[in-house]
Structure 1
Amino acid sequence: MMSAWIDSVRDGNGITVLLLLIVAFSMIQGWRRGASRSAGKLVSFLGDALLRIGGLVISIPFTLWLSPKAGEWLGAISALPDRELRFWEQVYYTAVKSLADFPLLRFAVLFMISYGLIVFMLRLLISLIFGGGSLFRSGRETSASLPSRLAGTGIGVLIGAARSMLVIAVLFVWVSLNPDHGFSRYVEASPIYSQGARAVLEPLSGSLVREQLPVFAQSVQDELSGIMERKYEVIDHRIPEGIEQTAAHVVKGASTDKEKARKLYDWVGSRISYDHEKVRLYEEQRIWKEQTPQDTYDTRLGVCIDYARLYAMMARSQDLDVRVVTGRGYNGQGGYGPHAWNEVYLSEEKKWVPLDPTWAQSGDWFNPPRFNETHIKERVF
């Protein structure tokens, strides 16, 4: 075992070096403290761990009980007022609607709040019981004899091992979520990490981390992506008078949902030009120029999400049920890139049909055959 560790250090594996440095630092602390203070530190370390475990044991079921009730309450107060919202109101309603609609996000926020409060209350209770002192206080600093320092060094090894296991646990979660990442392979090349993970974490976690955590992480990622959708819902809920009047003029004479949807598709597709400069800024400098449907309407410039949001706003103003769809579109070079388009509900046909106003100038992309061969739908809002 030790030879493998030494070889890993010689090879310059940063994970092995980090874990050994943690243990070495704890040993030095143990030497300086001596046996009594090191033992107190170990008791404090373990006591704090027990306190946090107690907080988890209480806060998890409490949050599970509270979360659905909070979701109902948040849903009741998330109705948007029929007026233009100020910036802080947009932030507020986006947060409220996101917490109301996404149970994992709501659970995470409530759990962090409840866990912090419960741990604080437990610490306060311990402080009151023990007369204002800490149950886990390590005591006064005194000069230590050689035997005491040697014993303290041994205790420091135990503390360092516990600290290293915390680092290994964090790395274990990362590796489980990103098994094919280059950094994961680098981590697994450390014999200390591999031995710690196999000996302690894998038996404790079973299949939970390896199999269930990636699924959970994907669910969290989906909900975080959905926050942007709620943001657009809040920002775009009020339809400016000029856009509504233009939409009414465009659909004048149309008698069916299909005719209305088609006329609006033709208008957006022919009046809005693709903003290549916006794309260039993002690709070269990672500068994203956020804009509202009103901005797109005024400048007559936008990218796919701007086309889709403007079309959705104009369609809603004329009582059409419409969605903004995000996903991937065929790039004409054998691959797919991020894209956005729309779906509109035709009541006379009782079905949703896709349309892509961004591509309107390159052909007829209003519910064409085989639309799904060039568009991969990922999210709808």
Structure 2
Amino acid sequence: MMTEWLNSLKEGNGITVLLLLVILFSIFQGWNRGASRSAGKLVHFVGDALLRLIALAISVPFTLWLSPKAGDWLTKLGSSLPDRELKLWEQMYYTAVRSIADFPLLRFALLFIIGYGLVGFMLRLLAAMTLGSRISLFGPGRDSSASLLSRLAGAGIGGVIGAARSIILIAILFIWVSLNPDNGFSRYVEASPVYKQGAQAVIEPLSGTIVRERLPVFTQSVQEELNGIIQRKYEVIDHQIPEGIEQTASHIVEGAETDEEKARRLYDWVGTRIAYDHEKVRLYEEHRIWKEQTPEDTYNTRLGVCIDYARLYAMMARSQDLDVRVVTGRGYNGQGGYGPHAWNEVYLSEEGRWVPLDPTWAQSGDWFNPPRFNETHIKEQVF
């Protein structure tokens, strides 16, 4: 084992260096403090860990019980938006309320953080009152009168504390590697024998297959909820449909009998009536000046870029009771590469499926649910 560690150090593996430095620093701290103060630090370290475990044991079931009740209450609180243009703070408020109400992972995380903090504080206060202990930010200091034997014992205790600290770092790295197994940094981490042996000896036996098999699924769920939060944001911002836009959309779809016919007519109108705003793109590319605009701005000026086309289309479609989404990702630039882009997806109830459409590209061809749409559009987020 030591030979592998030494070879890794000679090769300059940063992970090996970091983990061993943590242990050496803790040993030095133990030597500096002496046995009695190091033992006090160890007791403090173990006691703090125990309090955290108790706080977790209380907070998790309490949050599981509270979360659905909070969700029901927040749903009622954010169910109706004022029938007027919202101020910035109101947009932030309703976006937060609706997001927390609609997404259980986000709601659980927020309630857990609050509950864990409160329970942890109460436990520490109770420990201080009953045991007469106090939590120190820096721990015991240097004992200048410690004997050589006391310092050696302190160094040994420091080594135990350093090993525990290294295991915590290994656990964090283990989660990263599990989520990004093919990443270059992950391979670099796994090249460290200190990391590898620590993960195999401690982390994997404790976690079993939970981290490697379930954490990526959990992370995907988190990403989906983050995308949903963006969706709630634009639902709140664009909730009030100006009368002119609604009347225009109603006139466009007049006589249409199916969702597909309504969706295509709106696609044709937005795609042919709105002109691409090249000046807006130039300002951003050359000066990093972004001109934010609402769907009403796009409707009135008849100018916009892809996200403006997509938001206007979404507002017009929703005004006619169509289910529609704005999609962001990357679109083919015609030169062998891809650039940032936005488009829409609309739900056709007769067919029971979502279909893609790109009103920005409408003047270059038929981009309403064409074959092989995904070959030119790479979806990243939906809102």
| TM-score scaled by length of structure 2 | 0.88
Which residue is equivalent to 1:36?
36
Work out the CA distance in 2 between the residues paired with 1:194 and 1:279: 49
Q: What SS does structure 1 have at the residue aligned with 2:239?
A: coil
Query: Identity percentage over the alignment?
Result: 74
Give CA deviations for 1:288-345 in whole Å, capped at 9, x if unaligned: 654321232244333333212101212333x231302426655556776654333445
How many residues are matched? 379
Report 1:256-271 matches (<5 A).
256=257, 260-271=262-273
| Structure 2: gaps of 5 or more residues | none
Work out the CA distance in 1 between the residues paired with 2:286 and 2:214: 37
Report 1:73-222 matches (<5 A).
73-79=73-79, 80-131=81-132, 133=134, 142=143, 143-222=145-224
**CA drift at 1:14:** 1.1
Work out the CA distance in 2 between the residues paired with 1:349 and 1:51: 56
Work out the CA distance in 1 between the residues paired with 2:288 and 2:213: 34
**CA drift at 1:87:** 0.3
Give the direction of change, closer, same or farther, for the CA distance of 1:7–1:47 in structure 2 (3 Å limit).
same
Work out the CA distance in 2 between the residues paired with 1:286 and 1:181: 31
Is this contact kept in 2: 1:341–1:355, CA < 8 A?
Answer: yes
Which residue is equivalent to 2:367?
365
Give the direction of change, closer, same or farther, for the CA distance of 1:9–1:341 in structure 2 (3 Å limit).
same
Is this contact kept in 1: 2:330–2:339, CA < 8 A?
Answer: yes
Give the direction of change, closer, same or farther, for the CA distance of 1:11–1:374 in structure 2 (3 Å limit).
closer
Work out the CA distance in 2 between the residues paired with 1:287 and 1:189: 44
Report 1:328-347 matches (<5 A).
329=331, 332=334, 339-344=341-346
Give the direction of change, closer, same or farther, for the CA distance of 1:14–1:279 in structure 2 (3 Å limit).
farther
Q: Does 1:54 align with 2:51?
A: no
Work out the CA distance in 1 between the residues paired with 2:290 and 2:137: 51
Q: Which moved more, 1:348-357 or 1:153-162?
A: 348-357
Q: What SS does structure 2 have at the residue aligned with 1:69?
A: helix
Work out the CA distance in 2 between the residues paired with 1:255 and 1:162: 68
Work out the CA distance in 2 between the residues paired with 1:138 and 1:289: 52
Is this contact kept in 1: 2:32–2:142, CA < 8 A?
Answer: no
Paired residue type of 2:46: L
Paired residue type of 1:33: R
Paired residue type of 1:24: L
Work out the CA distance in 1 between the residues paired with 2:137 and 2:271: 69
Q: Which moved more, 1:289-298 or 1:141-150?
A: 289-298
Give the direction of change, closer, same or farther, for the CA distance of 1:190–1:284 in structure 2 (3 Å limit).
farther
Is this contact kept in 2: 1:44–1:136, CA < 8 A?
Answer: no
Give the direction of change, closer, same or farther, for the CA distance of 1:166–1:281 in structure 2 (3 Å limit).
farther
Q: Which moved more, 1:235-244 or 1:79-88?
A: 235-244
Name the Cα RMSD after superposition: 3.0
Paired residue type of 1:313: M
Q: Which moved more, 1:229-238 or 1:288-297?
A: 288-297
Work out the CA distance in 1 between the residues paired with 2:18 and 2:234: 44
Q: What SS does structure 2 have at the residue aligned with 1:341?
A: strand
Is this contact kept in 2: 1:127–1:135, CA < 8 A?
Answer: no
Is this contact kept in 2: 1:324–1:340, CA < 8 A?
Answer: no
Q: Which moved more, 1:124-133 or 1:209-218?
A: 124-133
| TM-score scaled by length of structure 1 | 0.88
Is this contact kept in 2: 1:323–1:380, CA < 8 A?
Answer: no
Give the direction of change, closer, same or farther, for the CA distance of 1:284–1:33 in structure 2 (3 Å limit).
farther
Work out the CA distance in 1 between the residues paired with 2:107 and 2:301: 38
Work out the CA distance in 2 between the residues paired with 1:191 and 1:44: 30
Q: Does 1:229 align with 2:231?
A: yes
Give the direction of change, closer, same or farther, for the CA distance of 1:157–1:293 in structure 2 (3 Å limit).
same
Is this contact kept in 2: 1:322–1:342, CA < 8 A?
Answer: no
Work out the CA distance in 1 between the residues paired with 2:201 and 2:279: 55
**CA drift at 1:13:** 1.1
Q: What SS does structure 2 have at the residue aligned with 1:91?
A: helix
